[in-house]
Structure 1
Amino acid sequence: MLIGRLTKDPELRYTPGNGTAVTRATIAVDNYNSKTGEKGADFIPVVIWGKQAENTAQYMTKGSQVAISGRITTRSYDAKDGTKRYVTEVTADMINGVQFLSKGKVNEMNQDPGNTFDSMGFDDGMTPVDDGDMPF
């Protein structure tokens, strides 16, 4: 399970032949070294298949936070210069492998960031509660 932010907009493609949707993305996962106090990030390539691939490409953009549940896969190929290249990436699980943790394209277009309470669709008779007034 990895939680991170997309480093760029996801790239949706379809496989030749059967036309299965596949999205490739890279997520930046926070990395903290407690000994040195340095903060950093690991950049993890992710592959998403099927309907999740289409939804990720449609609704998520660069900077969106996502949770990826999947497995590490390795593959190799021969590059144009004749050398063998190895790729390690995370392949998201087919069911619930991608969860959106922040606003995506649709939410950003439909919400007024100045007043998120109004855009949640609550009745006019409801008022927001200040967390400072909560007894727990």
Structure 2
Amino acid sequence: MNNVSLIGRLVHDPDLKRTQDGKAYTQFNLAINRYMSQAQKEEKKLEGKSTADFPRIVAFGKTAENCCKYLQKGAMVSVIGKVTTSNYENNAGDVIYTTDITADRVTFLEPFNSEYRKTPLREDAV
């Protein structure tokens, strides 16, 4: 079964894009803290290693439009979706393989006037 459930904070503002056939989509990364004791976290920080993971989330259609309209960097969300893999050829002719989380559902976990919201809602996003 391919089912993923994540909770994290947006690393950057999502941007609305369109596929060649006009379907809305967006991509953003989530910062998801790894489960570990405080001592383990301190040890990792001293070693210069990350204590979080940053998976790329891809959303389509109305979900993408709502993410771009209402979410900003730092917002906490829950994502339910599936792991998807794909590949493409870059300009140098190398095949690049990617692994993403395709969101079926994105739930906003904070009110829109959260302390993490530095600027007003972006009405120009959609």
Q: Which residue pairs with 2:29 in the alignment?
A: 26
Q: Which has the larger radius of gyration?
A: 1
Find 2:17's aligned residue among 13, 17, 26. 13
Distance in structure 1 (CA, Å) of the matches to 2:18 and 2:32: 27
Q: Which amino acid aligns with 2:75?
A: S
Choose 3-12 or 25-34, whichever is displaced more. Answer: 25-34
Distance in structure 1 (CA, Å) of the matches to 2:107 and 2:74: 14
Distance 1:35 1:64, change over 3 A: closer
Per-residue CA shift, 1:63-104, capped at 9, x if unaligned?
Answer: 0000000000000011111111000000011xxx10001234
Secondary structure of 2:62 counterpart: helix
Normalising by the residue count of structure 2, what TM-score does the alignment of the two structures yield?
A: 0.76
Structure 1 residue ranges without an equivalent (≥5): 111-136
Q: Which amino acid aligns with 1:56?
A: C
Q: Which amino acid aligns with 2:73?
A: K
Structure 2 residue ranges without an equivalent (≥5): 43-50, 122-126
Secondary structure of 2:55 counterpart: strand
Distance in structure 2 (CA, Å) of the matches to 1:49 and 1:21: 6
Q: Which residue pairs with 2:75 in the alignment?
A: 64
Contact 1:58 1:105 in 2 (8 A): no
Q: Which residue pairs with 2:110 in the alignment?
A: 102
Q: Percent identity?
A: 39
Q: Which residue pairs with 1:134 in the alignment?
A: none
Q: How many residues align?
A: 106
Misfit runs of 4+, over 4 Å: none
Secondary structure of 1:69 counterpart: strand
Deviation at 1:38, TM superposition (A): 1.5
Secondary structure of 2:54 counterpart: strand
Contact 1:64 1:103 in 2 (8 A): no
Secondary structure of 2:69 counterpart: helix
Deviation at 1:105, TM superposition (A): 7.2
Normalising by the residue count of structure 1, what TM-score does the alignment of the two structures yield?
A: 0.70
Find 1:77's aligned residue among 68, 72, 88. 88
Deviation at 1:32, TM superposition (A): 2.7
Q: Which amino acid aligns with 2:93?
A: G
